[in-house]
Amino acid sequence: MSTLEIRDLHVSVETKEGAKSILRGVDLTVSSGQTHAIMGPNGSGKSTLAYSLAGHPKYTITSGSVTLDGADVLAMSVDERARAGMFLAMQYPVEVPGVSVSNFLRTAKTAIDGQAPALRHWVKDVRTAMEQLRMDPAFADRNVNEGFSGGEKKRHEILQMELLKPRIAILDETDSGLDVDALRIVSEGVNRVKAGGDVGVLLITHYTRILRYIEPDFVHVFVDGRIAEEGGPELAERLEAEGYDRFLATSA
Ligand code: ADP
Ligand code: MG
Ligand code: MG
């Protein structure tokens, strides 16, 4: 059982005009076995939250705390966060030139577990996970994210998640740019990870569509750098019907 605790998090980003404050007091607790959806309009700071949890150097934590089972996440390097069991799938995954998918996965697995995976099991696990995500085996020899389509990038992220078995997974707009079939395949992957282990999922999305496939226990509406409203799955249904207008009208 793991718990990620975000307390009164304030974050600013460096811009040409100086530091711009984006997150303005985020409170959120995600425990293993739970799925939390963060929804909100464009520009509300959802990706900034993901980048801040990932330890992206551009984002400065000005106050607040983030802990994983009591350990100070903000004091950890990016690698240490991964070893502690945090997995982050970014909205815009980066290319890793010259590194194949299969090498990348094996290196990441070795770094996180502290030892190389037993080769026979590993090869089988990778093959099974790729089959389930309907990925061509040849994909394993391609360089990470180089020339990947939007859908391939997202499948690759879920492939990582399935193989690395995180304690807390943060998925930023894993649904964006996917057609209905790809969305279903990617969602099934997330649901397999949820069913197979004690993972806490933080699902960041602008649209309610993915929530038909991955059922959230809690829904948080993000507006203007903080959580404006919280509820259960019914809140997502309400947002689907009403959009974000009522939040934007009051936040102006
Ligand atoms: P969302 O993911 O909800 O669409 P973001 O976190 O991407 O929102 O952005 C929140 C706000 O912060 C936006 O106004 C965006 O322009 C600004 N912002 C985020 N990252 C940067 C950056 N690196 N430089 C300048 N502004 C940024
Ligand atoms: Mg956005
Ligand atoms: Mg975003």
pLDDT band at 250 (very low <50, low <70, confident <90, very high): low
Question: What are the helix and strand counts (H, E) for the chain?
Answer: 8, 12
- From the CB of 48, is ligand 1 less than 6 Å away? yes
Residue 176 pLDDT? 84
Residue 59 pLDDT? 95
Residue 89 pLDDT? 86
- From the CB of 14, is ligand 1 less than 6 Å away? no
Question: Which residue of 11, 12, 20, 247 sits with most ligand 1 atoms within 8 Å of its CB, as the best mutation to test the pocket?
Answer: 20
Separation in Å, CA 8 to CA 51, 203, 243: 16, 20, 26
Taking only the tens place, the pLDDT of each residue in 148-168 is 888 888 999 999 999 999 999
Please choose, from the candidates 236, 107, 231, 86, the residue with its C-alpha nearest in 3D space to the C-alpha of residue 165: 86
- Residue count (the chain): 252
Q: Which residues of 48-81 are buried (b: 16+ CB within 10 A; e: fewer)?
A: bbbbbbbbeeebeeeebebbbbeeebeebeeeeb
- Dig out the tokens for 121 from the structure: 């099991």
3-251 fold: Rossmann fold (3.40.50)
Residue 185 pLDDT? 93
Given 3-state DSSP classes, what are the helix, strand and coil percentages for the chain, each rounded to the nearest 5? 40, 30, 30
Protein residues within 5 Å, CB atom, of ion ligand 2: 42
Instruction: Please give the biggest Cα pair distance in the chain.
Output: 58
User: Strand, coil or helix: what is 63?
Assistant: strand
Residues 6+ apart with CB under 8 A from 220: 28, 36, 37, 38, 39, 227, 229, 230
Ligand 1: residue whose CA is nearest its atom 7: 47
